[in-house]
Structures are given as C-alpha cells and as structure tokens.
Amino acid sequence: MVEVETDALPTVDDEGSLNESLFRSERFWYAIDRQLLGYGLRLILILPAFSILTSFGSLAFSSTSPEWWAKIEPTLGISFAMTLTALTFIILLGYILVQIFHRHRVELSIGNFEKEVERLNREHLSVQSLHGYEGLADLLNSARAKHSLALSFGITSSLLLSGIFVFDIASLNGRILLLLSFSTLLLSLGQHIPTRSRPFNMDERTGLLKAYAPPIHPSTLEMVFNDLVKTHIDPLLRSEYEVFSKEIEAHIVKNIDPLFARERILMTLYRHSKGLDFKSMESELSEVLTGEGMKLVNNHPIFTMEEWLSILQHIEESCPAFFRMIGRIEEDLGAGRSSTSAGIVFEVDMENVVHERANLFTLIHNLSDTPRNIVLRVQSPDFRPHDLAMTYRLNPGERHWWSSKSLPLAAKGDDDVLGLMSGLLRDGTVAWQSLLPERFGEATVSVRLEEQSGDLIIGRQINVRVRTKYLERIRTFSSVTTSLIGILGIALGIFIKVRDIFGNIGA
C-alpha cells in the first residue's frame, strides 16, 4: 500500500486560535497606538512638526553657522546646518517607524473586520447584504490606501534628506533636496490627516461606531429605540443585535407584548446610562423579563452593560434632539403636568446647531378614545425640503398613557415615568425627518399640526444656527493646505534645478 502525503487542512480550532491571536495582536498594537502613536501623545503629528522646524533651521544656517557654534565647529568637524539636518533625519526615521506601527495596527483592524465578516457568514448572518456595509468597507480600504501613501511619502522624504549628506546643504543641490524632502513630508501629512476624522478599531466591540455613517433611516419610527439602535450601529453589531433580540424575546414574561418589552428594556438601559441606579434598573427589567432573561442581559458575551452604555452614548451624540424631546416629556410626566393640547400629546425638537443635516424629531399621540387623522407640516425657507406634509392616522392607545399626578421615575408596574414613556413611544407616532441646510447662519423651521381641513391644532417655531464642524473644517483645511504646499514645493525644486541646468549650458 502506498501512502500519499497530503497537506493538513486547518481545523475549526486552528482557525479560531489564529483569529484569537490576531485579536490579541491588535489589542497590543491598539493600546500603543491609542496612548502614544495616533492618539494620546500623538507622535505621528509631533515628530513631523519637529522635523519641519529643524528643516527651517538647516535652511536658515546653510551658509553660516551661529557664532557660538563657530567656536566649536573646527573641533566637531560639522556645520550647524548639517547637525540640524542629521537631527531632522533621525526625527524622520522616528516618524517612519510611527507610521509603520500605526499602519500595521490599521491593517490588523481591517484584517479582523474581514475575519468577523467571514465568521458571521458561516453562521448564516450575511453582513454584506446589510445596508451600509459597502460604505463602511470602502472607508476601511480608503484608510488603508491613505496610510500606505503617507508611509511612502515619509520614506521618500527621508531618502531625499539623506542625499544632503552627499552634496552638503551649502550647495544648491543640497538645498533643493531639503526642499523636496520638506515637500514630500507635507504630502505624507496631507494623506494622514483625513484618516483622523473617522477612527476605527476592532479591539472594542463599538470600535466601528465612529467610522460608520448611517446611509438611511426610517422617517416614521415604529419601535423607536430599536430603530435608533439599528440605524446607528455598524453592520457587524447589527447582525449580532438581531440574534440578541430573538434571544431576548424567548425570555419575556407571558402576556407582555414582545415589542413593548424590547422598547422597555432599551428605555431602561438608557435611563441607567443617565443615572438610574442598578437596583432600580433590575427591578424595571424584571417586570418584562424572566429570570433567564435577566441573566442574559447581565451576562451577554457581546452586549455587555459597558457596550450598551457606549452604544447609547453614541446615539445620544448623533441625535441629541430626540433625547432632549423625550426628556421634556418625562419631566411633564414626573411633575403631573397636563398634555400639550386637549386629547393629544405633541412634542418636537431638533439640534440647536446644525452641521451637515438637521434631525427633526416629532412625537404625536392620541389620548382620546376615537381615531384622528392629522397632518404634520414642516416649512422652512432655509432647509430642503421647503414644505413637507405628512398625513397620519392616530389610533387610540392601549391605555391612557398620561397622568395628571406626579409620578416617580421607576416603580413597580407601569404607573411610573418609565412605564408611561414606554407606552407613549410604542402607541404614539414618532417622525424623524432629515432637513438639508441651504445656507450658513440663522435658520428657522416651522412645525404645524393641522386638521385635514387645514385648521391649525398646534404649532412650533424653531430657530437654529447652521455651521460647519469646526474640527472637521480645520482637518480639511490642513490636509488641503499641506498637500498644496507639498506639490508646489516639489514643482519649485524641479524648476530651480532645471533653470540651473540650462543656465550652466548657456554659460
């Protein structure tokens, strides 16, 4: 019998060990990157800044050294300008190492992202089919390309600078090489700066939230907190969230609507993130979850309490108007104030300072016993669309989700602020509209609730300011400026050298 040797195929355990090794490697490099390289000490920005200063010093003293250095120059045998050039070269080497380490960390993050996508596909959770995946994948690949270009320009800058040790900085060729080295370093920075706007990592479960930009969102929120969570979390987390939601629904107390229970859970977690104590939170959750469900929420391997706090904080930063709106309603419920208008609850809010787009949230709820047809109209000369009208049929709620007496934030049963607020969000109608600003400065939005006949029920007027994001504007300006100066510097260096060549030929 002839034995045939074959290459051993990797087993599931081997693949799992490899993935775990990659995640451990990223955790190590991300810790260094977060503390020293890209963030924290920010060596990736400080080192090129110092090298630019020493480059200017080399150019300034390229002809003559300062008096105090001239006394020791014969002993050392090197001019002050060449000393600064050597120092610049050492700093550039440090910058290249930082770029290599930073790019390696980014490469590990992207590799782990791809591994997670493959794992979810094997579990029949197709991430690629989710809306927003292509945009996120394109962002990661674009960041990888920019880091590669930044590293390439950095290496080119150091090679050009090393040529000065051959020609000497006092010569024309030495000064041209210094100019070219300075210009390519600026091009390196011009490639790196845009990547700082949307950082990402796979060490943290929520490491993709800042990089992910939701492409669409529902205009009418059926399950308000659930829709907000699904809109703002990245495709990887969204796939895991769908599994988590199904697991939770299997542990809901009997005779409780699963949709109401899910909203109640998310509302309670949000209130916990805003200061509700742990004991009260567990008491509220126990009203809709069984004992096994409580264990699942407290000990879930992915959606831990820390992850929920990060997710909810991210959503609150993205949609502050919504949380400000429900905050006012909770204050009214807690104080026992009457509803906005007879038989109807109406609240509206949007950001005070608008940047790329305005998020307008409106909550409408019918407190009467009969259905009502109303028209929500949004008008503004400063935003697109200028005139928006939506007709809603408001059915009566399961119960009267309001109280004329003051209520505690959390108590047994649904007769507390959390219970009534959860009912309002479930039975009410929450509209979420994105308005696109047409100009910067002061802007006005009018929100009207009308009968179908056109009679006004209640209205609001909101004054906001439209501005660009200051930090993003600084980053964009810095990236464009450094790239333009780098290109002009290279063109100037080539022009000086060509003119020198033709000048020598003419002579």
Contact of 62 with 81, CB cutoff 8 Å: yes
pLDDT band at 341 (very low <50, low <70, confident <90, very high): low
Report the domain count for the chain: 3
Q: Both 495 and 430 in a single domain? A: no
Reduced to 3 states (helix: H, G, I; strand: E, B; else coil), residue 191 is helix
Contacts (Cβ under 8 Å, ≥6 apart) of 395:
366, 371, 427
Going by pLDDT thresholds of 50, 70 and 90, the confidence category of residue 15 is low
Q: What angle do CA 177, 179, 182 make, to 5 degrees?
A: 105
- Residue type for position 340: T
Q: What is the pLDDT of residues 233-270, one digit of tens each?
A: 999 999 999 999 999 999 999 888 888 888 889 989 99
> Contact, 434 vs 358, CB < 8 A?
yes
- Residues above pLDDT 90, as percent of the chain: 60
- Are residues 87 and 68 located together in one domain of the fold? yes
Identify whether residues 149 and 279 lie together within a single domain. no
Q: Does 138 share its domain with 241?
A: no
Closest CA to 458 of 365, 369, 325: 365
pLDDT recorded at residue 406 = 79
Return the minimum-mean-pLDDT range out of 2-11, 325-334, 490-499. 2-11
- Beta-carbon contacts of residue 276 (< 8 Å; ≥ 6 apart): 268, 284, 409, 410
CA-based nearest residue to 235, from 260, 270, 200, 269 = 200
| 335 and 416, same domain (yes or no) | yes
In this predicted structure, the answer to whether residue 69 has a pLDDT above a threshold of 90 is no
Structural domain ending residue among the three candidates 284, 317, 350:
317
**Within this chain, do residues 299 and 325 fall inside the same structural domain, yes or no?**
no
Q: Virtual CA dihedral for 419, 422, 427, 428, nearest 10 degrees?
A: 120
pLDDT of 9 reads 40
Please list the residues that pair with 433 across neighbouring strands.
Answer: 360
Closest CA to 431 of 356, 357, 360: 360
Q: Are residues 168 and 55 in the same domain?
A: yes
Q: Is residue 221 part of a domain?
A: no
Question: Is it the case that residue 147 has pLDDT exceeding 70?
Answer: yes
The residue with greater pLDDT, 415 or 474, is: 474
What's the pLDDT score for residue 419? 80
Domain that holds residue 260: 227-317
Locate tokens 């809709």: which residue? 288
Arithmetic mean of pLDDT over the chain:
89
Question: For 160-204, how does the pLDDT look when each residue is reduced to its tens digit (9 = 90+)?
Answer: 999 999 988 888 999 999 999 999 999 999 999 999 999 999 999
Other Cβ atoms closer than 10 A to 272: 21
Lowest-confidence pick of 34-38, 124-128, 431-435: 124-128
- Per-residue confidence band for 230, with pLDDT thresholds at 50, 70 and 90: very high
0.75 exceeded by pTM: yes
Q: What is the pLDDT at residue 10?
A: 45
Summarize the confidence of residues 49-62 as an average pLDDT: 91
Amino acid in the structure at residue 242? E
**What band does 5 get if pLDDT is binned at 50, 70 and 90?**
very low
